Amino acid sequence: MAACVSYLPLFILSLSTAYSVPVQSGVGFSAQLIHRDSPRSPFYNSSETHSQRLTNALHRSINRLSHFNTSRHELQSDVYSDGHGEYIMNISIGTPPVEILSIADTGSDLIWTQCKPCAHCYKQDAPLFDPKSSSTYGPLSCLSTECKALNETIKGAFCPPKAGDSTCLYRYTYGSGFTNGDLATETVTLTSVSGQPIAFPKTIIGCGRNNSGTFHKEESGIIGLGGGVVSLVSQLGPSIDGKFSYCLVPISAVPYCSSKIYFGANAIVSGYGVVTTPLVKKNPDTFYFLTLQAISVDDVIIEFKGSAFGTTEGNIVIDSGTTMTLLPKYFYLELESAIASKIQAKRVHDPDKAFSLCYKFNSNFKIPKIVVRFAFASVKLDPLNTFILISKHVGCFTFLPTDNGLAIYGNLNQMNFLIGYDIVKRTVSFKPTDCTMH
C-alpha cells in the first residue's frame, strides 16, 4: 500500500484563524475521509474480526433504511443503533476553531454539534462547543431573512408563536432519537489534504441543546453533504461551482489508506472511461436520486421495474453512508438467481447469517461481469465491488434484498470509482479509478 499518501492527523489540535483561508469562487480543495473501521478511527475496535466488522456494516445498512423512508414528515438525519455513517471528516467550528468529530453523510443536510449550555445532551468525550467562546457565532433571529427562508424551504426549522426577535430553532427527528436547538451562522473550517485549513464564514449550523439517541461518545456532530439547502455543499454554492466528488478506497486498503473528498475545481471528473447519469430532483431534496434501468450479468439483462421511490425516474438513491447495495426483494431474487447460474463454485452459508449469497473461494473462482445500467450510464463493477471476503475462503455478494421496496446504491459498489456530483448541472459521473493512487 505504498501508493497511499501519508495521513494527516485525524485531530488537528492547534488550528488558528490566522492560518486559515476563506474559500473563494473557482478554488478547489480536497480533504480526507476516514472509514469508521480504519485503525485511525475512534470507532475502531481492535478486538473485532474482519468478519464481525463486515457483519456490523451490513446491520448498519439495514438499520439505515428507515432514514430513506420518504413518507416520514420530519426531516431526518442518520441516528441509528449502530452508528451514523461510514466516513469521518476533520472539521472545526468557531473562532478560535474547536474540533468536532463529524460524520460525513451524503444522506443528510444539517451541520450540527452539541452546545453549551445543554438541557439534555448525550455523553461525549470531547467538550461541548461553547458559542460564547467564539467571536464568529451568530444566532439566527426569527426576524431574519435566513430564518424565514429556512422555515419555507425545510421541515425542522421553526419559530415559536409570537417569537419576535428570538432565536430561530430547529427540530430534527431520527430513527432512534432527535436533536433540538438553535440555528446560527458560524465559521466552519476543514483541513485540506495539503494541511491548509480552509474557512467557510457564515455557514448555517445547528447548535444542539436537547439531543437524544444512540450516539457514540466519540462523536459530537454530523456534516451534511446532501442536496438540501442547509447542507455544506449547498451552502458553499458558487464557491465550489456546485461540484464535489469522492474516491473511496477498497475495504482491503482501509487499514492503510484514507479516502478523499474533493470540492470545486478539484472535484471535476473527466477523461477516459467517464459515464454520466442525471440527478433526479425529487422530495426530499436531501437525497441523491438516480434512475436504475437494469443490471446485467454477463449476457443476461434484468430490467428494473421500480422501487418504493418510483417506477421510472429517481428510483434509487446513491449513498456513501450505506455499505451494502439494497434492492427490492423481487429484483434482488432475479439478480441472485442470474449470478448463481453463472458461478461454478460451492455455495456455502454465511455462519453469521447476514449475507444471502456466499461461495467457497479458491484460485479458480470466477465472478461474472456485472454492469449497473443507470440512465445514460453503464457502470461496470469490479469483482471487489460485487463480492467481499468475509473469511479466508468465503466470499459473499455485496447486494441484499429489502422488504420495504427501497433501493440504495451503497459504498461497496462505489469503491475504486471517482464519483462526481454536479448539483448545478444535476448530474453524477463515474470514472473507474485506483483510489489508493488518487
Q: Mind listing the pLDDT tens digit for each residue in 189-231?
A: 987 777 778 899 999 999 999 988 767 788 787 888 999 888 9
Q: Is 78 a catalytic residue?
A: no
- Supply the pLDDT for residue 174: 58
Q: Is 299 a catalytic residue?
A: no
- Supply the pLDDT for residue 79: 28
pLDDT less than 70: residues of the chain = 1-27, 66-67, 69-85, 152-155, 163, 173-177, 214
- Supply the pLDDT for residue 378: 98
- Supply the pLDDT for residue 43: 82
- Which residue out of 105, 182, 350, 422 is catalytically annotated? 105
Q: In terms of Cα–Cα distance, which of 93, 99, 94 is closest to 14?
A: 99
- Which residue out of 37, 241, 285, 319 is catalytically annotated? 319
- What predicted TM-score, i.e. pTM, was given to this entire model? 0.88
Q: 210 and 118 in contact (C-beta within 8 Å)?
A: yes
- Supply the pLDDT for residue 108: 82
What is the H or E stretch that residue 208 is in? Answer: strand 197-212
Please give the Cα distance from 66 to 83 (Å, whole number).
14
Retrieve residue 323's grid coordinates: 455499505
